[in-house]
Copies of this chain bind each other. A is one copy, B any other.
């Protein structure tokens, strides 16, 4: 009788020193394209066009100015960013933006800000906003275990709010907005940390968009902000310099020492998106196909794999699912790792399985994972029939 260990090893686990070829489904920092890793690796020896390591290049050098400029240009091209927006590279991740947004746009504004609470990350964002001013929670999905997003007419929006903040993709719960929430006349602020550059968006619908790099764009350590010039200049005076968008705009993202290597790698990713992939329409097609492949496997498993997220709001970035018992989930994760599928453990706040399908994850990787999932289920069925399941 076959056992789980029979699943064919796809990779040589002992070929250390060469590039990894296991499939990484980590929720973040996530997988990056192989070609990007190779180029990043070469730059550690010598940054192209220089004689020194990228880790020792001055952030005031023309070389790095060119890196900043190309990264910005690539992002502007990919998203068709209108000229009235500034593209900034900061540090501190989404958590820094949770505070920076209300400090710049709510403090002293004499208005309240609307927040949608749709999962783990938006719950964190609203806490920081309350430190800076009045907040209206326009919707909260906690009572339903964050399995759903609001329908467009379900939210309690404030007509003259300073802005509406929401999270386009809840990484932990695997929920993604398929529509643009909010009122036409209220500035939208969106945390796109886990789906930025995964699909085209209309930047013109937002006043500010932010995303850390470590899902779809690069290594952890750099955060991108796209902000309407006019909104940025309405911020109060005397906020800490490190929290002031205007200074980063004025210095073209070179105010204090930026994370040079993280930005260089992000440049490589945006170059790959424009060149190899062909753009965000093409990237979105691939991402949709990856998600469809995985959800099909789940939906055709007769309930062996179960999504928590309501079907209409399932995320194309993070497929979160459970097995019939926690013990089977553990068995699945162990067996998957042994077979070369890593980073599948669900977020520590809710457990389960999470397959993150960021830009750097290939369709082949998802097809292989789906095949593994079918195989694993068949093994469990065999065990069931043989009465050996020890779940």
B residues less than 8 Å from A30 (CB atoms) = 56
Cβ contact within 8 Å between A214 and B20: no
Which one, A93-101, A226-234, A377-385, is touching chain B?
A93-101
Q: In the complex, what residue of chain B is closest to A64 when comparing beta carbons?
A: B29
Q: How far is the CB of A390 from chain B (nearest CB, A)?
A: 25
Number of interface residues of A (CB under 8 A): 75
Task: Give CA–CA (A26, B55) in the complex, Å.
Answer: 11
Which one, A133-141, A237-245, A312-320, is touching chain B?
A237-245
Q: In the complex, what residue of chain B is closest to A262 when comparing beta carbons?
A: B221
Count copies of this chain in the complex.
2
Cβ contact within 8 Å between A95 and B256: yes
Q: How far is the CB of A83 from chain B (nearest CB, A)?
A: 28
Task: Give CA–CA (A343, B91) in the complex, Å.
Answer: 25
Q: How far is the CB of A234 from chain B (nearest CB, A)?
A: 19
Cβ contact within 8 Å between B11 and A51: yes
Task: Give CA–CA (A220, B54) in the complex, Å.
Answer: 10
Instruction: With a 10 A CB-CB cut-off, give which of A22, A60, A214, A261 has the most chain B CB atoms.
Output: A261
A343 and B58 in contact (CB under 8 A), knowing A24-B52, A45-B20? yes
- In the complex, which residues 145-170 of chain A have their Cβ closer than 8 Å to any Cβ of chain B? none
Across the interface, A261 reaches (CB within 8 A) one of B95, B243, B261, namely B261
Interface residues as binary, A236-254 with B (CB distance below 8 Å gives 1, 0 otherwise): 0011111100000000000
A329 at interface, CB cutoff 8 A: no
Across the interface, A260 reaches (CB within 8 A) one of B58, B220, B242, namely B220
Cβ contact within 8 Å between B60 and A46: no
Cβ contact within 8 Å between B242 and A95: yes
Interface residues as binary, A293-332 with B (CB distance below 8 Å gives 1, 0 otherwise): 0000000000000000000000000000000000000000
Instruction: With a 10 A CB-CB cut-off, give which of A18, A21, A95, A219 has the most chain B CB atoms.
Output: A219
Interface of A is mostly: loop
Across the interface, A240 reaches (CB within 8 A) one of B21, B50, B103, B218, namely B103
A220 and B59 in contact (CB under 8 A), knowing A51-B13, A128-B240, A257-B28? yes
A351 at interface, CB cutoff 8 A: no
Cβ contact within 8 Å between B55 and A242: no
Cβ contact within 8 Å between A22 and B52: yes
Task: Give CA–CA (A21, B50) in the complex, Å.
Answer: 11
Q: In the complex, what residue of chain B is closest to A41 when comparing beta carbons?
A: B44
B residues less than 8 Å from A52 (CB atoms) = 20, 22, 24, 26, 31, 342-343
Across the interface, A99 reaches (CB within 8 A) one of B16, B243, B259, namely B243
Cβ contact within 8 Å between B37 and A96: no
A-B contacts, 5 of them at CB < 8 A, read A17-B42, A26-B56, A41-B41, A93-B256, A221-B222
Task: Please give the residue numbers on chain A whose beta carbons come within 8 Å of chain B beta carbons, in ascending order.
Answer: 11, 13, 16-22, 24, 26-32, 37, 40-42, 44-46, 48, 50-53, 55-60, 91-96, 98-99, 103, 124, 127-128, 131, 212, 214, 218-222, 238-243, 255-262, 265, 340, 342-343, 348, 360
